[in-house]
Structure 1
Amino acid sequence: MYYSDFILLFIAGLAGGALNATIGGGWFIVFPSLIYLGKQPVSSNATTTTTLLCGHLASMASEQNPIPLDKNIKRYFGIISLAGGAAGAFLLIIFSHQTFELIGPYLLLCSWLMFTFNKTILSYFDSKKYKAFEYSHRKLISLFILNVYGSYFGAGVGMMFIALLRYYGMKNDTQLNGFKDLMVALNNGIAVLIFIYSGLIQWQFALVLIAGSLFGGYYGVKVSNKINMQVVKRVMIVVGAIVTLYFLNVLDLDLIV
């Protein structure tokens, strides 16, 4: 691997960790950087999950005050996150690479739509007079499906967790972010263990990405108040659109370059 590749991967990890710690969208940076270097999509996705998990854990560690969560709900959400994460990871391993390459672009499109219209979607849920959040086992079904997605593909899963919980009536932002952080950590954590055991992680690239992601995840929140995050969000919407159109075979980047 050339020095320029190391630099590219470190910057991608740095940006991915910082983005996921603030507005989301880190997948749009990390995964394409591996594809650009000629890596296979399934192992690139597993490596991306590993990278962004490290950044996510670093951003959680940078929070000065732990977020109190209901112990019973936390237990149920934790179990369903582990179960869904394991299921999604096994699906990624068992299904053919062709299956991932076939459905991946459409999952990416859904993720980009969620990223782009996230505020509109949450505002719509807030405008509806849903009952205040009450735990029920039935809610675990949709959470399980979303957790399967989180480890199989994963782009934008944090925003999707928040949207689903908001739809169920959970309005407290502190509580929302707490449960989102918990589920992402457990979901991606069990998936990464399975990916490591299966040999999917491209360690020669992952270690450089992880170094950048840890730095970006830890300091991303700390410097976000010094940056116009609305401008960053608009830039990432455009970047996400380009990445999505490329993987949908709608946009030929060679023509642009």
Structure 2
Amino acid sequence: MSAVDLLIAAGVALLAGGVNSVAGGGSLILFPTLVALGLGTVAANVTNSVAQWPGYLGGVAGFRAEYAGQRSRLIRFGVVALLGGTAGSVLLLTTPTEAFDVVVPVLVLLASLLLAVQPLLTRRLRAAVDDGRRRDPSWLYVALFVATVYGGYFGGALGVILVGILGVGLHRLKLANAMKSALSAVTATVSLVVFALFGPVHWAVVAVAAPASLVGGFLGARIATRIPTTPLRIFIVVFGLAVSIYLFARV
């Protein structure tokens, strides 16, 4: 890649890191950019996953105030993301992508619609209360595992899917958005290790895109914590629908 190509990759990575923190879906900005710059689809996917890893860490740092009192939940969800991310990363390197690519637009569309009706579902799906705190429903762990398998495999719009799932399971959109960043970071860390060892990573792109993604992730998280719940929900739903249309067009 030329110096101009690398500069373009860095700029898009900055934007993608911010989008990942605010709503998720930054991969759908950086991945097609890398393909347009000349990388093959598998190499672009792997490089995209490695390059955006620091951005997820920046998002976690930006949301740190939201994690107060959530240590136990973070550990439980983190273990699920570790297992799911590992499974998805191994699948990417050992199986063809065609079949899963057909499913991806449907997953993103359903996640967006799920988030859109989240207030109604919250009223109807009240979890049991124990000492003033809700127990996390068992289906939430299964859904998070499936989502992080997808995240390890491709990862585009993983944040949209996670926010949709967590928004219903936790009944608190801002906490769901913060948890999304933490689980995305765990999934991305697993992908980083697997892809760095066994995947066709373009390290020159990673060298410029990773720092940009870190800055973008932190700035995006700081913005997201200041957005009221209703506008944040509307933004994420609209963004998710746009992402699903983009993915349907690629099938």
How far the C-alpha of 1:136 sits from its partner, in A, is: 5.8
Give the match's secondary structure for 2:67: coil
Distance 1:171 1:232 in 2: 18
Q: Structure 1, unaligned stretches of length 5 or more? A: 249-257
Is the Cα–Cα contact under 8 Å of residues 32 and 243 in structure 1 kept in the other structure?
no
Aligned residues: 242
- 1:143 is matched with 144
Is the Cα–Cα contact under 8 Å of residues 9 and 33 in structure 2 kept in the other structure?
yes
Is the Cα–Cα contact under 8 Å of residues 121 and 168 in structure 2 kept in the other structure?
yes
Distance 1:193 1:206 in 2: 14
Distance 2:208 2:159 in 1: 24
Is the Cα–Cα contact under 8 Å of residues 89 and 194 in structure 2 kept in the other structure?
yes
Distance 1:209 1:60 in 2: 18
- 2:163 is matched with 162
- 2:24 is matched with 24
Structure 1 241/8 Cα, relative in aligned 2: closer, same or farther at 3 Å?
Answer: farther
Identity %, equivalent residues: 23
Is the Cα–Cα contact under 8 Å of residues 82 and 190 in structure 1 kept in the other structure?
yes
How far the C-alpha of 1:114 sits from its partner, in A, is: 5.0
Distance 2:186 2:215 in 1: 21
Give the match's secondary structure for 1:130: coil
- 2:11 is matched with 11
Distance 1:223 1:137 in 2: 32
TM-score (norm 1): 0.78
- 2:102 is matched with 106
Is the Cα–Cα contact under 8 Å of residues 118 and 159 in structure 1 kept in the other structure?
no
Structure 1 136/62 Cα, relative in aligned 2: closer, same or farther at 3 Å?
Answer: closer
How far the C-alpha of 1:111 sits from its partner, in A, is: 5.1
Give the match's secondary structure for 1:87: helix
Structure 1 244/210 Cα, relative in aligned 2: closer, same or farther at 3 Å?
Answer: same
* Map 1:77-116 → 2, pairs under 5 A: 77-95=77-95, 99-100=96-97, 102-110=98-106, 112-114=108-110
**Structure 2: which amino acid aligns with 1:25?**
G
- 1:253 is matched with none
How far the C-alpha of 1:188 sits from its partner, in A, is: 1.6
Distance 2:240 2:78 in 1: 31
Distance 2:201 2:64 in 1: 32
How far the C-alpha of 1:244 sits from its partner, in A, is: 2.4
1:34 aligns with 2:44: no
Structure 1 94/61 Cα, relative in aligned 2: closer, same or farther at 3 Å?
Answer: same
Give the match's secondary structure for 2:65: coil
Give the match's secondary structure for 1:65: helix
1:210 aligns with 2:213: no
Compute the RMSD of aligned alpha carbons: 3.2
Distance 2:243 2:162 in 1: 19
How far the C-alpha of 1:42 sits from its partner, in A, is: 1.8
Distance 1:181 1:232 in 2: 17
Distance 1:111 1:7 in 2: 32
Structure 1 stretch displaced more, 194-203 or 61-70: 61-70
How far the C-alpha of 1:173 sits from its partner, in A, is: 3.5
Is the Cα–Cα contact under 8 Å of residues 51 and 210 in structure 2 kept in the other structure?
yes
Distance 2:175 2:235 in 1: 25
Structure 1 201/25 Cα, relative in aligned 2: closer, same or farther at 3 Å?
Answer: same
Distance 1:142 1:63 in 2: 23
Structure 1 5/40 Cα, relative in aligned 2: closer, same or farther at 3 Å?
Answer: same
Q: Structure 2, unaligned stretches of length 5 or more? A: 129-133
How far the C-alpha of 1:150 sits from its partner, in A, is: 1.2
